[in-house]
Structure 1
């Protein structure tokens, strides 16, 4: 029988594969539905596969975003390993496209934007997903999407072998280079292309052919709507440097392209379209309308005992530590701002944790003995300590308590003799004589009428009570009191805050037993609590937990305080952060093309502070620098820098680009110089028609620019066009073309003409030469 995570009841299986299975389950104590990803048993015995599974859970603890499925818990013991995830009530993007084909451009843009926002959060944490594809995007009933499955995600810059799904792997992955955020941007754009067209840009069943296509084949933008060609070229660029440097930059480009192509309401229409497509797949939804599943009970004795112990103890908390306990249970949870599907300690504080004593009988004390505070003299807030039941106790059907265990016997022998008589006297005879004689007299009268009833009651109750109470009271099973587990030590160490504003530290604790102990942590910035976390320690007597928490905006120059409290104990760690350096929060480049040969560009920079930021900008023509600008920006938080260059002649058809770098960020823009084509004149020289029916002549064209010009020559006989030919002229301002056409026969005495026109039209109009053949001879 498959191992299941303690504390959850499985409803049904959602999917299965070589690495394990995913099930829909419900949290026993709160009734919240979750999705549980189980690692396959053969992989759990593989140290490399198990380490990767743990790494996936560890990465998810650092990612909190509305576009990423949240981790609730990581559970591991000798029976198995599981990741407990937020249940996203939706279907995979793959299922949507398999059923409906292309989603439409606006819906595809919504999917791409949501995915890029989720990838952006991962990139900010230094994580590259490496396996973005339609199977890993879940579209909810409201049209929103969430990113799942970080099974092969890596830290940016990690030198690992290339992995992924071949149709979505970026060119650098095929050539053995390192994965970067641009790698995820490429995979997201491939999926975007598939949503737009119903098929992937490159299709081959042969890996070597597929790899060559990703590395060298042209981007098939002609299959997609015209307004999105630029977006596809950027996201599917062969070189990572030609793609947007990160998902957030690509989001800004996406919004601009969507606004230009589909108007301001594109996102709302796209979300409604996705919601409608998901609504047509009700049977694929995890929480579809159906009869509630009957939970399976009695799967194992351990599961039964654990559930009973949890119901008696009511000690579930909102978060647990990230560590594996050898031979026991490893419990990992992400305690976010939103409550995970575990009942928090505050909700249990008011509930009675022990049986109420009978009046007159002193109740046993369960309050812990106060212990000295190890790391901080701060006052500990009083908390109600619920009763703790060791979940490892094995109970049999004969001695399993039906209610909470009590620390006092349920039956006390009586100390008073009983005053009630052992036989209760009757006030009436047990047989009542008839009130009247029978209607028919007996044939023979009784020889002697009865003088008393058949049963004689006692004349009086016993006057002497029993001399002593019963020697043996009724036997009632009495639960054995469970020893109280208390903290013996609590400390915090190693507090640090990274560049993203995430606090990390280590909690150490010692306990007098292995029963659960609740510890609550408060994260404060400048005296204001910004986050809380609840831990549940159990299964050992010594604990070391690596903790991580997002503090929101980076607390530059402020004091960060983390406080851990448990009944009778408190520990505090403090850190004063230095002032943050000025960061570039926005960088944008725009190319401008003026009249004649005037070229220019504008760079806008936004910063987080007023300290100096170095800016370098370069204006290029066909890749060659024609203007440069380098300076240190300081004193403001918003800057505008312009570059310009005036050429003697307009560079028609050439590409102007602007590249800017500031504070580790980069931005670029490009545009092609266009020139209106102008034709001064078109002329026909030496035109004629010989006796054998052959046309001949020379056409000259004079233009003002080198832009392409189209020349069309028509041959006419008797006023009817018998042949037309065209010439493509480009790269010069003067052209000369020899023209000719041969007819089989021309009637005698016929009129003929040669007409030459251009596109765009010449200033003097079309050129025409005509004549007449000789008359007929009789």
Structure 2
């Protein structure tokens, strides 16, 4: 594309490809998005590309990727955009998985502010997803790719990325800001959990889930479940009406759950996550040494002082033989910009790459400066150029036909030394305990065009934050390999650390990053907070362990009783810095009247070593068995002998219930204590014992024996028979009855 030098490709997809390019007039880096040839040939895609340009022009917001220029030729179409030196949220999720709630809230808020600007302009994005959220090195985020955006409530057809499409988008209903809110909440869910709320192998199943499946709220932290529930409501009327409403809701929930400084911590976490991908940032890869990241940010800033717009009626520029048309972007209300964009093609100074939107050398205050190129060379080769003209606006003047010979007394100055390349490598951070020094080492290689002095500034970072800075002077050579090292302060135990090198003269910032070695975890506290024995057999101990990191800690618990019985449990602890665990052991026999001991120890050992606690087991009274051994009768007097065996010498009660015809005829209760085996004999006199009637005794204890009560019964002789054990009184009555009959 005229006026831009392609550096390298940044990415490609179904809609086209994006390249890193250099705006030749200003030396600034930009991103250029080209529409693919295949899609350009399809009906509607070229119009969509133009639409993205128009929409981006209307959205001037720090949270939206800024558009500089839209160019269309017979060979293709392209959008020139702000280059965001960062990584996509998708790359962060692929590299690190879940971001944690504060970082998820921070990235959601940043891109929601971009959506809010779109919604205020009446624009619905329709394709909010992690690939379209760009996270910069400082943890801030921007919203990109309005390729399928439309006017709110305007005519539309289903569009977007299926895993993030709201239920109404699946059936082609008019999109609304609530549709973007739904997609943003899906991305928020993915940041919290590492996966989307709905996943399916085919489109029909995915559509069904988005339209009918329950929201998996139990997978997200409790404080943000309300946000997720409202954002993923099936009915758009039940969602926050716009991104601005969701931002206000988010701020309130986040502050209540995580404190007033949640956003700062969230951005720091995002910066740390992005730091691991810093080597892949567009400007951190190999690039021309004479251009720097800071230049890109400085040069392009003047074009965002006023709102940019697509210039109607002066959008088409035609170059002789080139067939190039371009949308020129000028300051709103600036007639100078518009007239410059529409300058006649006969002037060699006119180029679509030199529109006021992309050439800082052209000031809207002097639109005529580029209208007439300089017709004659300056009087002398050393004469300065007029400030009203620019390299971009007019071609450089030709040198004089006869240059004067240099004078021996005025030697030609040697060219200034430039930094051609700089590279950071050899990063090393030895592992160590949290309290040990953390000294980072690395090498910086600098290649220059001359031997003059070059100032090298080296910054040591931990999780995106600068911990130390060194400034070195290099001279006398054209290639330097400098070993650098510095104490990083408090030892980090997770995340990334790195070295960033910059030079003067500048060559941009060059960074190297490496993973921080994990610190070995140390146990800081160990305590047995409770020890109990249930049923004189099952012991349970509650143990609290604290550590200085989330690494693995082994907890060993040992139970013992004086009878020689022991039990051991070994538990692995990780992922936190504080743990409470309950260990248990069942003794094979009751340990009544004994002391049960429990010893807790850890590996690595706690500062005070192992901790032991014991408890005396005071068993309650218990009956092992109760048995009616003998039952006899003399006349109406019955005698029973009962054996009782107990688990200990504690008091128990024995109750004998005398039975007649299955019913209680009388009871006797005896208290037993002081021994573990008893034999009890009791006598009971029945008022009368009819012939042929069952009688007996039931023995029961409190507490009850495992087998319950013991019962033994007998039966008196049948009526009309003679038995030796018949009650004399009843026998007398029976004999009398027989005599009377005779």
When the two structures are superposed, what TM-score results if normalisation uses the length of structure 2?
0.45
When the two structures are superposed, what TM-score results if normalisation uses the length of structure 1?
0.43
